[in-house]
Amino acid sequence: LPAGLSQWFPALEVLDVSGTGLAEMGTELLSLPCLHTLLAKNNRLGGPGSLPKGLGQAPLARSLRVLNLSGNRFSEVPPELLRLRGLRSLSLGGNRLHSIPPDIQELQSLEFLYLGGNFITAIPPELAKLPSLRYLVLCDNKIQSIPPQLAQLHSLRSLSLHNNLLTYLPREILNLVHLEELSLRGNPLVVRFVRDLTYNPPSLQELAGRTVKTRNIPYTPSDLPESLVRYLSLASNCPNPKCGGVYFDSCVRQIKFVDFCGKYRLPLMHYLCSPECSSPYSSASQSSTSQSESDSEDEASVAAHRMQKVLLG
């Protein structure tokens, strides 16, 4: 950046230096107390010293609302950016990011986060601690799963996940009550789904615990060690309506299709207490195939009207 910028334009509010071949931004940037929008797209930023030291303590840290660093060479989110607590919009698309730092939760004012076109493989649960986030773009990455904590983003309106490696969505996604747009095209879940029936046999402790819970055998904290009482409190009900059983650690992961908007069926992950609960020929779930499908639709009916647009193709 040119020397004397702050003397020439002390009241500068918007600065666009996109496409200028910029490799670093100097300390002149720190002396712009009124700057609220900084656009530096398609440059060569990303190496050591690309951003001025002291960025998080400068007046700019309080005034800056919009920062766009897309199309640069950042391999990680610069820690200095996580101190810009007034940011409402942050764009780092088309860089070389492999991860999202858990400290992203420090940007409590963030409403728009664009991280598309990187090499991100996982979403940290801490991302769900951004109370004002409305638009989250994670398309064109290498993300394989969505943490269920993402359902805590109650302000989220748009979630872009297209062109990733997703094979299922967590059922908690139904709790995004204000979500209006969900983009999923270009993921394996759109063209195929995975039925993973890998099942580890229950331990003797789990078998005993299942018996206690399903037969309602009475017990008091004085009857059992504290660890077993705590273990028994962790029982999860099998979602198969024909079963009525419970499970603790040993369960079957299965994809369950849920109807959105009466047109698209999204595969959501759920858990069964045994492989027999997933078989239409078992005594536990005989004649329950159509019932299970109907239950899927009923389960989603409360949330379906909230979803305005599901982009699968």
Taking the C-alpha atoms of residue 30 and residue 308, their distance in angstroms, rounded to an integer, is: 43
Tokens describing residue 141: 């990455």
Ramachandran class of 307: left when φ > 0, alpha when ψ lies in -120 to 50, beta otherwise: beta
SS3 121: coil
pLDDT of residue 30: 80
Is 180 found in the same domain as 133?
A: yes
DSSP states of 185-243: TTSHHHH--------PPPPHHHHHHHHHHHTT----TTTS-HHHHHHHTT-EE---TTT
Say if CB 45 and CB 24 are below 8 A apart: yes
Is 228 found in the same domain as 132?
A: no
* Chosen domain end from 130, 163, 196: 196
pLDDT of residue 242: 84
Residue 262 within any structural domain of the chain: yes
CATH code at position 116: 3.80.10.10
Reported pTM: 0.67
Tokens describing residue 145: 């799963």
Nearest Cα to 101, choosing from 132, 123, 72? 123
Is 180 found in the same domain as 109?
A: yes
The total number of residues shown for the chain amounts to 313
Taking the C-alpha atoms of residue 171 and residue 173, their distance in angstroms, rounded to an integer, is: 5
Residue 29 within any structural domain of the chain: yes
Q: Would you give per-residue pLDDT tens digits along the chain (313 residues)? A: 444 455 566 778 899 999 999 999 888 888 788 889 999 999 999 998 899 888 877 788 888 999 999 999 999 999 999 999 999 999 999 999 999 999 999 999 999 999 999 999 999 999 999 999 999 999 999 999 999 999 999 999 999 999 999 988 888 888 888 888 989 888 887 755 444 445 678 899 999 999 999 999 999 888 889 999 999 999 999 888 888 899 998 888 776 767 665 555 677 777 888 877 765 433 333 333 333 333 333 333 334 444 445 555 4
Range of the structural domain that residue 115 is part of: 5-196
Is 236 found in the same domain as 144?
A: no
pLDDT of residue 292: 34
Say if CB 105 and CB 82 are below 8 A apart: no
Say if CB 50 and CB 79 are below 8 A apart: no
Task: Report the number of distinct structural domains present in the chain.
Answer: 2
Is 123 found in the same domain as 17?
A: yes
pLDDT of residue 259: 64
Residue carrying structure tokens 């699968």: 312
Give, for 62, the enclosing helix (H) or strand (E).
Answer: helix 60-63
